């Protein structure tokens, strides 16, 4: 199967302007995401989809492939879909699975990417997966920047929210606090179909795209990972990731090259 990774990225960000180029251990964050994704043997190629020449020029300067996209996309999946079609037009090869890797996930690992793809390889009825990970503190559970998810006994998503779900208000102390990790593989045709769907009420209320699928009775397979991973949405997140990545052994595989 032809499986590619696409990293949508743009400089405009309300909470952290210029986020993809934010410095992590002397390298722009988008560089970490790209080079770490390139280490995955599950991906035939990795591209950065952007509307900003600064990002494109940087990616090309480190030997990467950048796809210029429109500057009016509201959602990362729209940018990813435009890039997908341009890649197919250029390579003359149809893609089977596209892995959307968010540019604010600098702690992504090759193993996470492989695990996210596995359900689509194994089960032809699954069209989309998301990674999920445990949250280790109530503070993280309360943070609206973190998208939380609750799942059924087979690890299919039941609901996504920026609120702390499941609730601790009844005094429960032993609850499963799970967060979405934004490495999201789509089957090629399903990504295009998804982008044609109208936005749904719960998607808008929660500001979580995946709720659109749940409201249309489409299953999302969640894949549990044990890696410690943090996304970057604020200056505090950036400081946290800089500290945690100092001792990350994966960095030695690309920063020293």
Domain assignments of the chain as residue spans, ordered by start: 3-229
pLDDT in tens, the chain (257 residues): 999 999 999 998 767 889 999 999 999 999 999 999 999 999 999 999 999 999 999 999 999 999 999 998 888 999 999 999 999 999 999 999 999 999 999 999 999 999 999 999 999 999 999 999 999 888 999 999 899 999 999 999 999 999 999 998 877 778 899 999 999 999 999 999 999 999 999 999 999 999 999 999 999 999 999 998 889 989 999 999 999 999 899 998 898 65
Instruction: Please state the pTM of the whole predicted model.
Output: 0.93
CB contact set of 186 (below 8 Å; sequence gap of 6+): 77, 97, 98, 99, 100, 127, 128, 194
Q: Is the CATH number of domain 3-229 3.20.20.10?
A: no
**C-alpha dihedral (135, 137, 140, 146), degrees to nearest 10:** 10
Pairing mode, if any, of strands 183-187 and 97-101? Answer: antiparallel
């Amino acid at each position: 199967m032809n499986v590619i990774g696409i990293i949508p990225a743009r400089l405009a960000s309300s909470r952290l302007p210029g986020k993809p180029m934010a410095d992590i251990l002397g390298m722009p964050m988008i560089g970490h995401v790209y080079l770490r994704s390139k280490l995955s043997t599950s991906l035939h190629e990795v591209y950065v989809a952007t509307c900003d020449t600064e990002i494109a020029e940087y990616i090309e300067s480190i030997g990467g492939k950048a796809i210029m996209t429109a500057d009016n996309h509201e959602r990362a999946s729209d940018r990813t879909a435009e890039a997908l079609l341009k890649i197919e037009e250029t390579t003359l090869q149809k893609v089977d699975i596209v892995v959307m890797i968010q540019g604010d996930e600098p702690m992504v690992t090759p193993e996470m990417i492989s695990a996210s793809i596995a359900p689509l390889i194994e089960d032809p009825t699954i069209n989309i997966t998301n990674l999920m990970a445990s949250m280790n503190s109530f503070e993280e559970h309360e943070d609206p920047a973190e998208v939380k998810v609750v799942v059924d006994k087979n690890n299919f998503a039941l609901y996504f929210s920026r609120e702390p779900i499941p609730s601790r208000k009844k005094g429960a102390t032993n609850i499963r606090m799970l967060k979405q990790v934004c490495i999201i593989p789509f089957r090629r045709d399903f990504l295009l179909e998804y982008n044609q769907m109208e936005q749904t009420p719960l998607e808008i209320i929660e500001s979580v795209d995946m709720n659109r699928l749940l409201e249309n009775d489409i299953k999302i397979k969640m894949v549990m990972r044990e890696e410690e991973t943090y996304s970057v949405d604020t200056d505090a997140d950036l400081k946290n990731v800089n500290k945690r990545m100092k001792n990350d052994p994966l960095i030695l595989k690309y920063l020293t090259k």
